[in-house]
């Protein structure tokens, strides 16, 4: 049985979730209680009494070049139904993703976002219509393999919070450089990091590697906060379209 931990960004990696399939651990009142129940109702039918050691993780990292966005496909290939989920799908590449899912013989039961994206329109709404999964709210990191009896490696899908040799901006949508700094490295050093974006050709890192080589996150807290406050980044070109659309899962009225 593949286990996923669902952690909200305001206390990113700060607490360990219980080991329920796709369990939601709410660390902020901004995540409504119905989110937890929705996650459970979508995935309960795919729980099994078999040991997690019999699980076989199927994992694919997909790329959308216009926004440099990574979409992640994960599935329990050992389960008869091969339940699968997508993290951060993009509207432009929904057909590609669904074709791959069909080709691999998977059953898509959930599509989710790590946060309300400002640089592209999510494909979760399109997938919901066409493949009937649910969707998630808020800004989150998804962690799998975070249990002592689970053979799969520990993997964290960090969205824009932690990037390879960088991190997401904190100057809009309620960001906080202080919260980000204090929470970002509470996962073990051997955790594999899979971000939502990369602009230099990297695809994966580890917490330990970022602790040693990330030019922002190797600094002390005050230096980090000063760096983040003086990035002077341009206004995201898609934000006025992407954020309103993504608040309704990318389903836009014609």
Domains by residue range for the chain, with CATH: 4-44+54-246 (3.60.15.10)
The whole-angstrom distance between residue 202's C-alpha and the CA centroid of its chain comes to 17
Check the CA dihedral 12-13-18-22 and report its sign: positive
Question: What is the structure's pLDDT at 88?
Answer: 85
Chain segment 177-193, per-residue pLDDT in tens: 888 887 777 777 888 98
pTM of the model: 0.57
**Which of the residues in the chain have pLDDT under 70?**
1-55, 115-140, 145-152, 173, 238-254
Dist. CA 122–CA 254, nearest whole Å: 16
Residue 210: predicted pLDDT = 93
Using a pLDDT cut of 90, give the percent of the chain over it: 14
| Cα distance between residue 205 and residue 217, in whole Å | 14
């Amino acid at each position: 049985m593949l286990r996923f931990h669902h952690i909200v960004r305001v206390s990113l990696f700060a607490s360990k979730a219980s080991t329920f399939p796709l369990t939601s651990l709410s660390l902020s009142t901004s995540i409504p209680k119905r989110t937890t129940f929705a996650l459970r109702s979508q995935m309960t039918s795919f729980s099994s009494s078999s040991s997690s050691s019999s699980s076989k993780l199927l994992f694919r990292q997909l790329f959308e070049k216009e926004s440099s966005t990574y979409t992640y496909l994960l599935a329990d290939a050992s389960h008869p139904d091969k339940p699968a989920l997508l993290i951060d799908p993009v509207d432009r590449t929904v057909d590609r993703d669904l074709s791959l899912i069909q080709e691999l013989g998977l059953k898509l039961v959930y599509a989710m976002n790590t946060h309300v994206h400002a640089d592209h329109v999510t494909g979760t709404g399109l997938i919901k219509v066409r493949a009937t999964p649910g969707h998630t709210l808020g800004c989150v990191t998804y962690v799998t393999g975070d249990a002592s009896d689970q053979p799969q490696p520990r993997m964290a899908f960090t969205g824009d919070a932690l990037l390879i040799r960088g991190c997401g901006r904190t100057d809009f949508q309620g960001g906080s450089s202080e919260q980000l700094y204090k929470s970002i490295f509470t996962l073990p050093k051997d955790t594999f990091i899979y971000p939502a974006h990369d602009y230099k050709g990297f695809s994966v890192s580890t917490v330990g590697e970022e602790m040693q080589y990330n030019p922002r996150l190797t600094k002390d807290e005050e230096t980090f906060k000063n760096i983040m406050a003086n990035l002077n980044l341009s206004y995201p070109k898609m934000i006025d379209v992407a954020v309103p659309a993504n608040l309704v899962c990318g389903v836009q009225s014609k």
